[in-house]
Amino acid sequence: MTTTVSASPDAPTAALAPLKLLIAAPRGFCAGVDRAIEIVERALDRYGQPVFVRHEIVHNRYVVDGLKEKGAIFVEELDEVPDGSPVVFSAHGVPKTIPATATERGLDWLDATCPLVSKVHRQAERHVEAGRHILFVGHKGHPEVIGTMGQVPDGAITLVETLEDVAALAFPEGTPLAFLTQTTLSVDDTREIVAALRARFPEISGPRAEDICYATSNRQAAVKAIAERCDLLLVIGAPNSSNSLRLVEVAEREGTKARLIQRSSEIDPAWLEGVETLGLTAGASAPEVLVREVIDRLREWRAVEEETVTTTVEKMVFKLPRQLTE
């Protein structure tokens, strides 16, 4: 636990009561995001500018803009990548057809898929090989869901988003089934859906624990640890970042008002009226520099007493692709 008291000497409202700021830890970048960003940076060093990236490498505008300044070009589809250009696939994973097409075109491609997402991909393949139909718990349209569902043949996987979806499933008795989950879901919501799946289909196969990644679970646990003490909690993250949105939901489920922001400029000082204790965290795609930016912004309005609340220490590191280490 770390406590720091600071205030801007020119703060016009410095006479107001100090703001207690509880900063969740762990927060921000996870090992998969660190790895994905480093892959793009090393690819730029190896190949020179430009390096193309299919889809946002991670869901954070600050990170994407920073890589653009270094020479990365972001595209949505592979056909936007010129022949002979290097291309990186995002941390969320891609359907099997994408690297296959890249190989057919002779493109130099690098896969920045988070290894924990790749693990789910391999599980999906094994279930299909074993003749099981997969029930995949996730959010429709999310890049990770698209990538995972694209690992298996059409018709071999069904998306499940809610308890109502579970109730509506209709499979003949004896159908071999398995379940997998998106890695960035709400731990609590997913537990309920998995329990419902097991209740409806007692013979269903699945992982010993849901596939929600360590970083998602840890950040949600850290929010739970501070939410009860907060009048308001700010989550730094993008509106298309699943893990960031789940942090807002976790706080609200604990009875604490929460707001998602991308940058400090989005904070309305009116939000702080009546707030004595403010919580602060960041999604797995948000860099620490944005956390400090928010704190500096808060100091313009109030004296700030910082307290870091640590629930666990993360030491996970993922290896880079072989092409970048040889």
Whether the full predicted model's pTM is greater than 0.85, yes or no, is: yes
Check pLDDT > 80 for residue 10.
no
Provide the pLDDT for residue 326. Answer: 78
Q: How confident is the model at residue 13 (pLDDT cuts 50, 70, 90)?
A: very low
- Could you report the per-residue pLDDT of 204-217, keeping only the tens digit for each? 999 876 688 999 99
All structural domains of the chain with their residue ranges: 2-29+214-310, 31-114, 116-211
Which of 56, 144, 210, 306 is an active site residue? 144
Provide the pLDDT for residue 7. Answer: 45
Provide the pLDDT for residue 106. Answer: 94
- Could you report the per-residue pLDDT of 158-216, keeping only the tens digit for each? 999 999 999 999 999 899 999 999 999 999 999 999 999 999 999 999 987 668 899 99
Provide the pLDDT for residue 18. Answer: 93
Residue 292 bridge partners (DSSP)? none
Provide the pLDDT for residue 2. Answer: 52
Check pLDDT > 60 for residue 261.
yes
Provide the pLDDT for residue 208. Answer: 75
Provide the pLDDT for residue 325. Answer: 86
**CATH topology (fold) of 2-29+214-310:** Cobalt-precorrin-4 Transmethylase; domain 1 (3.40.1010)
**CATH topology (fold) of 116-211:** Cobalt-precorrin-4 Transmethylase; domain 1 (3.40.1010)
Reply yes or no on whether 38 is catalytic: no
Provide the pLDDT for residue 50. Answer: 97
Give the chain's mean pLDDT: 94
- Could you report the per-residue pLDDT of 306-325, keeping only the tens digit for each? 999 999 999 999 999 998 98
Check pLDDT > 80 for residue 48.
yes
Provide the pLDDT for residue 11. Answer: 44
Q: Which residue has the higher pLDDT, 209 or 152?
A: 152
Q: Tell me what percent of the residues of the chain surpass a pLDDT of 90.
A: 92
**CATH topology (fold) of 31-114:** Rossmann fold (3.40.50)
Provide the pLDDT for residue 1. Answer: 52
Q: Do the first three CATH levels of 2-29+214-310 and 116-211 match, i.e. the same topology? A: yes
- Could you report the per-residue pLDDT of 76-91, keeping only the tens digit for each? 999 999 999 999 999 9
